[in-house]
Amino acid sequence: AQSVTQLGSHVSVSEGALVLLRCNYSSSVPPYLFWYVQYPNQGLQLLLKYTTGATLVKGINGFEAEFKKSETSFHLTKPSAHMSDAAEYFCAVSESGTGGFKTIFGAGTRLFVKA
């Protein structure tokens, strides 16, 4: 079975600083990988995804992530944090099984941005 591990349940950065949220996955097949963001009292929305092809993936709001097969990682970065980036971020991997496709989510990382 596939799994997703997000290192750090809380990350705090200063406004303008680099954002780095870590995600490692396990998968027995080529993975589809996702980062979702959740703002308070809202559902999740897609930030970016990797399916095939280029391993550096760009998403919305200046975020990007790099798929590293050798490290089984898909870390999320943003060069300069903005106050509006404060939210919870979820890494996810799509799994294929006898019952169809399911998505396994990490436990989430809450990002705090200090002024």
Partner 1 sequence: NAGVTQTPKFRILKIGQSMTLQCAQDMNHNYMYWYRQDPGMGLKLIYYSVGAGITDKGEVPNGYNVSRSTTEDFPLRLELAAPSQTSVYFCASTEGRETQYFGPGTRLLVL
Residues in the site for partner 1, rule: CB under 8 A? 9, 32, 34, 36, 41-46, 49, 51, 90, 94, 96, 99-103, 105-108
Q: Output 58 or 82, the one with its CB closest to partner 1.
A: 58
Please provide the DSSP assignment of 22-73 as one string. EEEEE-SSPPEEEEEEE-TTS-EEEEEEE-SS-SEEE-GGG-EEEEEGGGTE
In angstroms, what is the minimal distance from the CB of 43 to partner 1? 3
Q: Output 3 or 14, the one with its CB closest to partner 1.
A: 3
